[in-house]
């Protein structure tokens, strides 16, 4: 598993906005969506393009396109939902699944309360969304569930990642997951 930490100056600026205690709710939500768009851009750098013929004002030409139907976005409820809008703006035809988890206060382990995926999830590349990778428990459990459903290619997008969470995620899901984050 590769952990890709992005350090672009624009992102550093956006992170400052969301970390500022004086940032309002509306601006916070908007900036989370913007950051998610940047994450999607980076995570899709290895996407396979297909050649199709299109009509331009000057005639027919070959063009490269992305088959958005090959992808699914899976936010971990509720926080991951804030990132979803930024990705849907980039790939509006990707399918969407949802995972709901909460932390058991006694065991500190994630407990699943909701899991809804597109029927053909095993045939898609899945991009899991959660703004914060702390202990790694929710990410690990979500990816485990997706693998149990037959998903082979998974990417995990988060805005902030703790070194402990990165380490645990790498340990548990070394082979099929890439982690994209801006700050750790």
pLDDT in tens, the chain (184 residues): 567 777 889 988 999 999 999 999 999 999 999 999 999 998 898 899 999 999 999 999 999 999 999 999 999 998 899 999 999 999 999 999 999 998 888 987 778 999 999 999 999 999 999 999 988 889 999 999 999 999 999 999 999 888 899 889 988 887 666 767 665 4
CB-CB contact of 180 with 128 (8 Å): no
All domains in the chain, ordered by first residue:
3-181 (3.40.50.2020)
| Nearest residue to 42 (alpha-carbon basis) of 183, 169, 182 | 182
Q: Which pTM value belongs to this model?
A: 0.89
Burial class (CB in 10 A: 0-12, 13-18, 19+), 170: middle
């Amino acid at each position: 598993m590769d952990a890709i930490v992005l350090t672009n100056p624009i992102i550093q600026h956006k992170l400052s906005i969301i970390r500022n205690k004086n940032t309002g709710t509306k601006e916070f939500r908007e900036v989370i969506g913007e950051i998610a768009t940047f994450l999607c851009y980076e995570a899709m750098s290895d996407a396979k393009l297909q050649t199709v013929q299109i009509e331009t004002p000057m005639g027919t030409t070959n063009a490269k396109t992305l088959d958005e139907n090959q992808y699914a976005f899976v936010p971990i409820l509720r926080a991951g939902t804030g990132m979803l809008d930024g990705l849907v703006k980039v790939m509006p035809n990707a399918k969407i699944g949802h995972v709901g988890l909460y932390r058991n206060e006694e065991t500190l382990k994630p407990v699943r309360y909701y899991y809804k995926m597109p029927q053909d999830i095993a045939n898609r590349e899945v991009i899991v969304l959660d703004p914060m990778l702390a202990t790694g428990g929710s990410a690990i459990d979500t990816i485990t569930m997706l693998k149990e459903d037959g998903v082979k290619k998974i990417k995990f997008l988060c805005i902030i990642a703790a070194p402990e969470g990165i380490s645990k995620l790498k340990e548990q899901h070394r082979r099929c997951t890439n982690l994209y984050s801006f700050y750790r």
